[in-house]
């Protein structure tokens, strides 16, 4: 396999967990709530998916478990931010700590366990397309589910009635109130749905990508997801591209090492984070205007005691 | 006549220094609410570990006795809290200006790396005390530059510092790994790669109480200075104006950009010093678990102390003792040490949610 196709294949594989988490964070931010606890929701999702898959023998039930666990953790964030008026960014990090602690507490028993996992499935016909086929269509089922989710989510956000309500909650909550809608329940749904997606991202990490569970296995992917959402302006298609870009940066390291390049492993490990930072910088100019009104307050006046 | 005028003349004078009963109750409610929030967190954590089949009462008893009941263990808390106080102040100063610095972890690592770099470069050619001073300076400058990068991105590119500082943590960690596994690896070492140890003359001296080292004076001194600067300098005042309303500050002629950048740089310098105290006071070499989430614990401590320097010190001591009691959870209750993260998070959540009167939802 050429270096390019190897990096692209690996990019999709490695980027999918971030794609799920970033799609979820897009929903949450569209509703006006930033969730840095995405990292924690991914961890909870990863453990729950692995544990459920192990106990039941069905990886798809694991995905469901991951979504539920991620949604539960996000509901903690939603409660303290929406119902108790706590600072969004600080609460998100505390929620991450909660997820980190809970998963190491309940995860010990599954470190050695061998759970049923997803393996690659070649799609008939599609995988025969030259170059693109093996890259896009010889992946695990959760990758394909993500392909479908992106346009669906795009439609929901921009074309459906629910999307209008969601965007209004984040942009012009007073208009919603004037039309007799209650803003807080919409935001609750947005944050919890966001956490469920992050949980599915964690699920992909444990039962499809690494095929294992270990403590703190998300390694900053949840934070990267938040960064991806920032430079992707909460647009599902751009989120997908950003997530695969991070994945490609991740895939670069093993691909180069396999070809005998003597580059230090840790220098390569830093590449995905450096790339994310660089993209944030390159795409920074136009971003602020696209930020939902409700979020400008969060990012520019973060101080709250 | 005089009986009519006297009370009106006397009552305003008496009312001003003497607060009303409602005010006194309000003032008492703060600490009482905090205490209630703390107890609620302990109960919730008790339920969580009971789900793991651990008796919460025994676990709390073990945690308490192992953490507080001897002078040696209290010295251990002071040692642990030294870098955490500095990491917390690194959050407090930018927070004054409305910035969220989540990069304490990376800034501490860079501080430690810079100091180690000085020690390796000098290689014993200078007197130890002089090298130590250089190391302190390098740690502060290194940390400041690392955080300043996020400050510049925030100021000129409008990229939220809360996200960039987090990403920079991972980059700092990989940088340190690169050095200890490659360039700076101690070739005589066995096991996990580390750098060579600092010579004794370049270490922070012990103060004669357990393993407590003079870094504790750096930490407490920094807290006092930050408190004084907040209260008495115009810089401290301006930071608060910017943090309160940046637009109003800009219109009243304050140099908002310079204030934000300086707050960020000072924060990074404090975290860098935290890394130095950990290197020159406790670890003596760089290894993979060098900072061990102290930066994040400092973040929690600053928020727990509501970004007021003296409360932040107390919060750091509290969270340090909880972090240490995690060792007891591991030894006595066979739970992973990271489980204490749950307790810390619950305390913070309870305080965020119930420690004060409910604020209007953001």
Above 80 in pLDDT, residue A304?
A: no
| B356 vs B95 pLDDT, higher one | B95
CA-wise closest residue to A104 among A207, A208, A214: A214
* Other C-beta atoms lying within 10 Å of the C-beta of residue A261: 10
Q: How many CB atoms lie within 10 A of CB A79?
A: 16
Answer whether B348 sits within 8 Å of A226, measured CB to CB: no
Q: Kindly identify which residue of chain B lies nearest to residue A288, measuring between CA atoms.
A: B158
pLDDT, residue A291, reads 73
User: Model confidence over B170-187: pLDDT tens digits?
Assistant: 999 999 999 998 889 988
Q: Which residues share a beta bridge with A79? A: none
* B51-62 burial code (b ≥16 CB/10 A, e <16): ebebebeebbeb
Tokens 């895939």, residue located: A251
Query: Do residues A170 and A29 touch, judged by C-beta distance below 8 A?
Result: yes
> Is the CB of A102 less than 8 angstroms away from the CB of B48?
yes
Tell me the per-residue pLDDT of B70-126, one tens digit each, with 9 for 90 and over. Answer: 888 899 999 999 999 999 999 999 999 999 999 999 999 999 999 999 999 999 899
| pLDDT the model gives residue A289 | 60
Residue whose pair of structure tokens reads 């450096």 in the numeric block:
A274
Give the distance between the most distant pair of CA atoms in chain A: 64
Q: Which residue has the tokens 């409610």?
A: B29
* Residue B24: pLDDT over 90: no
Asked if the Cβ–Cβ distance from B361 to A85 is below 8 Å, we say yes
**Closest CB to B181 among A95, A266, A270:** A266
Query: Residue A285's pLDDT is what?
Result: 66
Spatial distance between the Cα atoms of A21 and B203, rounded to a whole number of angstroms: 44
Q: What are the residue ranges of helices labelled H in A31-140? A: 38-56, 59-78, 88-107, 132-136
3 state DSSP class of A218? coil
Task: Name chain B contacts of A85, Cβ cutoff 8 Å.
Answer: 358-362
pLDDT at residue B12 is higher than 50:
no
Separation CA A72–CA A79 (nearest Å): 11
Percent pLDDT > 70 in chain A is 96
Q: What is the 3-state secondary structure (H, E, C) of chain B?
A: CHHHHHHHHHHHHHHCCCCCHHHHHHHHHHHHHHHHHHHHHHHHHHHHHHHCCCCHHHHHHHHHHHHHCCHHHHHHHHHHHHHHHHHHHHHHHHHHCCCCCCCHHHHHHHHHHHHHHHHHHHCCCCCHHHHHHHHHHHHHHHHHHHHHHHHHHHHHHCCCHHHHHHHHHHHHHHHHHHHHHHHCCCCCCCCCCCCCCCCHHHCCCECCCCCCECHHHHHHHHHHHHHHHHHHCHHHHHHHHHHHCHHHHHHCCCCHHHHHHHHHHHHHHHHHHHHHHHHHHHHCCCCCCCCCCHHHHHHHHHHHCCCCHHHHHHHHHHHHHHHHHHHHHHHHHCCCHHHHHHHHHHHHHHHHHHCCCCCCCC
Q: B83, B277 in Cβ contact below 8 A?
A: yes
The rounded distance, in Å, linking the Cα atoms of B187 and B103 is 31
Would the pLDDT of B262 be above 50? yes
Nearest CA in chain B to A285: B157
Q: Does the pLDDT of residue B14 top 60, yes or no?
A: no
Chain A residues with CB under 8 Å of B303 CB are 87, 90, 94
**Does position A226 have pLDDT exceeding 70, yes or no?**
yes
CA distance B358 to B348: 15
Q: Which residues of chain A neighbour B167 with C-beta distances below 8 Å?
A: 220, 223-224, 227, 273, 276-277
Return the SS3 of A84. coil
User: What share of chain B in percent tops pLDDT 70?
Assistant: 90
pLDDT of residue A286: 56
Distance CA B263, CA B98 (A): 10
Least confidently predicted of A59-63, A70-74, B149-153, B349-353: B349-353
- Given a cut of 50, whether residue B225 has pLDDT beyond it is yes
Model confidence at B362: pLDDT above 60? no
- Mean local confidence (pLDDT), B331-355: 90
Query: CA-CA distance, B25 to B31, in Å (whole number)?
Result: 11
B205: CB partners within 8 A, 6+ apart:
B213, B214
Q: A94 to chain B: which residues are within 8 Å by CB?
A: 300, 303, 345, 348-349, 352
Read off the pLDDT of residues B34-67 as tens digits, 9 standing for 90 and up: 888 889 999 999 999 999 889 999 999 988 888 8
List, for residues A145-190, the tens digit of each pLDDT value.
999 999 999 999 999 999 999 999 988 888 888 888 899 999 999 9
CB-based burial label for A297 (10 Å; 0-12, 13-18, 19+): middle
- pLDDT tier at B15 (50, 70, 90 boundaries)? very low
Cβ B174–A270 below 8 Å, yes or no?
A: yes
Percent with pLDDT over 90 in chain B:
67
Q: Which residues of A touch B339 (CB under 8 A)?
A: 101, 104-105
- pLDDT tens digits, B64-81: 888 888 888 899 999 999
Does A278 lie at the interface with B, CB-CB under 8 angstroms? no
Structure confidence at residue B34 (pLDDT): 81
| ipTM surpassing 0.95 | no
Chain A residues whose CB is inside 8 A of the B48 CB are: 102, 105
Distances (CA, A) of B354 to A302, B52, B359: 20, 27, 10
Q: How high is the pLDDT of residue B36?
A: 84
Radius of gyration over every alpha carbon of chain B, rounded to an integer in angstroms = 23
Rounded Cα distance, A21 and A193, in Å: 10
List the one residue out of B344, B336, B327 whose CA is nearest residue B64. Answer: B327
Q: A226 at the B interface (CB within 8 A)?
A: yes
User: Nearest to residue A300, comparing CAs of B258, B161, B265?
Assistant: B161
CA distances from residue A15 to A26, A218, A251, B141 in whole angstroms, order as listed:
16, 12, 9, 36
Residue B4: the pLDDT is 44
- E strand or H helix at A112, and its extent? none
**Count of CB contacts below 8 A, A vs B?**
176
CB contacts of B243 in chain A (<8 Å) are 303
Tell me what pLDDT residue B361 has: 40
Residue A139 host element (H or E): strand A138-139
pLDDT at B239: 94
Q: What is the pLDDT of residues B303-323, one digit of tens each?
A: 999 999 999 999 999 999 999
Do residues A171 and A292 make contact, with C-beta atoms less than 8 angstroms apart?
A: yes
What are the Cα distances from residue B134, in Å, to B95, B116, B214, B261? 29, 10, 16, 24
Least confident span in A248-262, B230-244, B256-270? A248-262
Position B151 confidence tier, pLDDT thresholds 50, 70, 90? very high
Residue among B169, B178, B362 minimizing CB distance to A88: B362
Separation of alpha carbons B88 and B274, rounded Å: 9
Whether B1 has a pLDDT exceeding 50, the answer reads: no
The mean pLDDT of chain B is: 89
Chain B touched by A283 (CB under 8 Å): no
CA distance B92 to chain A (A): 11
Q: pTM for the full model?
A: 0.90
Whether the predicted pLDDT of B324 surpasses 70: yes
Tell me A268's DSSP state.
Answer: H
Q: Does A53 touch chain B (CB under 8 A)?
A: no
The 3-state DSSP class for residue A283 equals coil
Residue A94 has pLDDT above 90, yes or no: yes
The pLDDT tens digits of the residues spanning A29-83 come to 999 999 999 999 999 999 999 999 999 999 999 999 999 999 999 999 999 999 9
| Dihedrals phi, psi of A211, to nearest 5 degrees | 55, 40
């Amino acid at each position: 396999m050429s270096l390019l196709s190897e990096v692209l294949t690996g990019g999709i594989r490695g980027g999918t967990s971030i794609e799920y988490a970033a799609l979820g964070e897009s929903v949450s931010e569209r509703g006006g709530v930033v969730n840095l606890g995405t990292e924690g929701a991914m961890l909870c999702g990863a453990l729950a998916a692995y544990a459920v898959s192990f106990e039941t023998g069905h990886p798809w039930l694991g995905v469901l478990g991951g979504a539920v666990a991620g949604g539960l953790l996000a509901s903690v964030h939603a409660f303290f931010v929406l119902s108790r008026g706590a600072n969004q960014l600080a609460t998100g990090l505390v929620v991450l700590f909660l997820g980190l602690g809970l998963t190491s507490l309940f995860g010990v028993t599954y470190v050695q366990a061998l759970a049923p996992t997803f393996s690659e499935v070649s799609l008939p016909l599609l995988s025969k397309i030259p170059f693109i086929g093996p890259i896009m269509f010889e992946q695990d089922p959760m990758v394909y589910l993500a392909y479908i989710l992106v346009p669906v989510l795009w439609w929901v956000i921009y074309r459906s009635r629910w999307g209008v309500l969601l965007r209004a909650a984040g942009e012009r909550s007073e208009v919603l109130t004037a039309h007799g809608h209650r803003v807080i329940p919409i935001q609750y749904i947005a944050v919890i749905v966001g956490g469920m997606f992050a949980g599915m991202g964690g699920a992909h990490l444990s039962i499809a990508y690494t095929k294992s569970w270990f403590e703190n296995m998300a390694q900053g992917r949840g934070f990267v997801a938040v960064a991806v959402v920032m430079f992707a302006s909460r647009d599902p298609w751009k989120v997908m591209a950003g997530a695969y870009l991070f994945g490609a940066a991740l895939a670069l390291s093993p691909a180069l090492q396999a070809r005998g390049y003597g580059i230090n492993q840790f220098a390569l490990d830093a590449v995905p984070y450096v790339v994310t930072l660089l993209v944030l910088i390159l795409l920074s100019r136009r971003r602020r205007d696209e930020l939902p009104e409700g979020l400008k307050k969060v990012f520019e006046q973060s101080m709250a005691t | 006549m005089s009986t009519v005028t006297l009370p009106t003349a006397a009552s305003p004078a008496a009312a001003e220094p003497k607060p009303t009963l409602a005010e006194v109750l309000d003032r008492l409610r703060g600490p009482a609410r905090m205490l209630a929030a703390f107890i609620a967190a302990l109960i919730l954590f008790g339920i969580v570990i009971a789900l793991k089949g651990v008796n919460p009462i025994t676990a709390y008893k073990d945690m308490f006795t192992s953490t507080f009941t001897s002078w040696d263990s209290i010295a251990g808390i002071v040692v642990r809290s030294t870098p955490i106080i500095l990491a917390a102040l690194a959050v407090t100063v930018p927070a004054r200006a409305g910035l969220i610095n989540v990069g304490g972890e990376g800034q501490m690592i860079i501080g430690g790396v810079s100091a180690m770099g000085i020690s390796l470069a000098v290689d014993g050619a200078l007197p130890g005390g002089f090298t130590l001073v250089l190391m302190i300076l390098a740690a502060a400058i290194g940390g400041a530059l690392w955080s300043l990068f996020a400050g510049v991105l925030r100021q000129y590119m409008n990229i939220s510092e809360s996200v960039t500082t987090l990403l920079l943590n991972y980059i700092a960690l990989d940088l340190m790994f690169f050095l200890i596994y490659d360039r700076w690896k101690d070739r005589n070492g066995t096991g996990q790669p580390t750098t060579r140890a600092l010579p004794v003359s370049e270490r922070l001296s012990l103060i004669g109480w357990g393993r407590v080292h003079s870094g504790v004076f750096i930490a407490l001194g920094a807290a006092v200075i930050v408190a004084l600067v907040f209260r008495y300098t115009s810089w401290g005042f301006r930071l608060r104006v910017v943090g309160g309303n940046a637009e109003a500050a800009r219109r009243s002629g304050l140099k908002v950009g310079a204030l934000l950048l300086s707050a960020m740089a000072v924060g990074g310098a404090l975290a860098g010093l935290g890394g130095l105290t950990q290197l020159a006071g406790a670890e003596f070499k760089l290894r993979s678990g060098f900072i061990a989430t102290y930066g994040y614990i400092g973040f929690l401590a600053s928020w727990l102390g509501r970004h007021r320097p003296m409360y932040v010190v107390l919060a750091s001591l509290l969270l340090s003792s909880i972090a240490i009691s995690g060792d007891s959870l591991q030894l006595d209750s066979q739970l992973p040490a990271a489980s204490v993260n749950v307790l810390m998070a619950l305390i913070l959540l309870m305080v965020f949610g119930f420690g004060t009167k409910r604020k209007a939802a953001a």
